[in-house]
Structure 1
Amino acid sequence: MSLALYTSKTKIMSEEKKPKTKKETRKRRKFPTSPIDEVLEFAKSVYKFGAGNKVRRLSLFDEIGKSPDSGPTRTLITNSGKYGLTKGSYGAEFLELTPKGKQAVNDDIDELTRRKAQIQLAITDHPVYLNLYETYVGNKIPSRQVMIDFVKEYVEDCPESEATKIVNTFIVNAQHLGVLQTIAGAV
């Protein structure tokens, strides 16, 4: 049992000292964790609202009817940046599309150019997704667990839950972009 004497301002003394514990820090993911289709819709809103120019974050969210400071909104902005669609954080005054982001959402350019930009932003710009793609392109996709094990081997110190998110996001993105097709109920 520990006994400590306190004043209103400071701790004066204690009989036992607790061992200092290392503060756990949150790992920063270098890859996006939400599917590209959700983020593309957000980028399209940025494009339409600002006609391709930078927009005031608060004005944009007022226009689209979302809270600019909610958790899901922050995640959306963060993932949009991780995909390389937008510049600006959830605390920034302005958000703007990157040149590749403009290509990915601009309906005035041809479908092939737009789709190539989307594939680059969703898959080829992220080593973990690119590695999955290059490993399985042209082959039958194995079970999710095989892919999860592959990711855990490829990404240093990757827990199962993180590898599962990577594989799930990759599969959803690849299907959305048409680079992965389900054959006879696989995947």
Structure 2
Amino acid sequence: MTVSEAPAKSKKRVASVSSSVEPAKAPTEKKPRGRAASRPFPHSPFEEAFTLAEAIQVFAGSNAVRRLTLFDHLKRAPESGPGRQWVTTAARYGLIKGNAASEQLQLTPEGDLATSKDVSPREQTRARIKLAIDTIEIFKSLYDKFAGQKLPSPALLEDAAGDLGSGPVKLLAHWVMG
């Protein structure tokens, strides 16, 4: 076999390092994320938060209960996002004392009245209205503005809430109308 008859060796392509690697970008400064904008009302409807207060009433009455024990009894995850939100919302309505990181949760005196079977239905309703409407400034203002009238549309409620100085309020009607 002569040199000309020898099989041709395949030439391997070698990519240049400089062409396959992008130039390093200058490190960008990350902006601190901060906290989400706070709403002038709780993140969930009163009825949803009320179920936690009822569970505390059934499980412990007006006594304090360990948060982890209560959630274990309810078969819910205490450290999950929804579990923490449930506690936060109930506290924001004034139904319970404590927060998502508290060792113990307890009904407030108003929360106890609203959930207790030992008081009259009239007192229960009065306590529930106080917690759901009177203690939340924007709900109280809307109630005062529209009391005695037909319930307005969700869009009108959102506009009225914005006019009350809280800026644009989205999803407000969900909490008011349930």
> TM-score under structure 1 normalisation?
0.76
Q: Cα gap change, 1:111/1:157 in structure 2, threshold over 3 Å: closer, same or farther?
A: same
Residues 22 and 155 of structure 1: is their aligned pair in 2 closer, same or farther, counting only changes over 3 Å? Answer: farther
In structure 2, the gaps of 5 or more residues are: 1-21
- Aligned AA (2:96): T
**Identical pairs, percent:** 31
Whether 1:164 aligns to 2:134 is no
User: Would the aligned equivalents of 2:40 and 2:138 in 1 still touch at CA under 8 Å?
Assistant: no
Separation of aligned partners in 1, 2:99 and 2:75: 19
Contact 1:128-1:155 at 8 Å conserved across structures: no
Using the TM superposition, give the Cα deviation of residue 150 of structure 1 relative to its aligned residue in structure 2, in angstroms.
1.2
In structure 2, the partner of 1:149 is 159
CA distance 1:78–1:3, shift in 2 (3 Å): same
1:2–1:106 Cα change, 3 Å:
farther
Within 2, Cα distance between the matches of 1:141 and 1:154? 17
1:26-65 matched pairs, under 5 angstroms: 26-65=36-75
Q: Following TM superposition, by how much is the alpha carbon of 1:20 offset from its aligned partner in structure 2, in angstroms?
A: 6.7
**Structure 2 length as normaliser, TM-score?**
0.79
Pairing 1:106–2:121 present: no
Count of residue pairs brought into register by the alignment: 157
8 A contact 2:44–2:175 mirrored in 1: yes
Judged with a 3 Å threshold, the aligned counterparts in structure 2 of structure 1 residues 95 and 30 are, in CA distance, closer, same or farther, namely farther
In the TM superposition, what is the alpha-carbon distance from 1:149 to its structure 2 partner? 1.1
Q: Which amino acid aligns with 2:172?
A: I
| Cα distance in 1, alignment partners of residues 104 and 91 from structure 2 | 13
Q: Deviations over 1:108-131 (max 9, x none)?
A: 101111100000000011110011
For structure 1, the 5+ residue unaligned runs are 5-13, 173-187
Partner deviation per Cα, 1:73-113 (whole Å, 9 max, x = no partner): 11110000000000111111100110111001001101111
Q: Report Cα offsets for 1:4-33 as digits up to 9, x if no partner.
A: 5xxxxxxxxx5xx75774645312334212
Alpha-carbon distance in 2 for matches of 1:44, 1:121 = 14
Alpha-carbon distance change, 23 to 63 in structure 1, aligned in 2, over 3 angstroms: closer
Shift >6 Å, 4+ stretches: none
Q: CA RMSD in A?
A: 2.0
Task: Report the counterpart of residue 6 of structure 2 in structure 1.
Answer: none
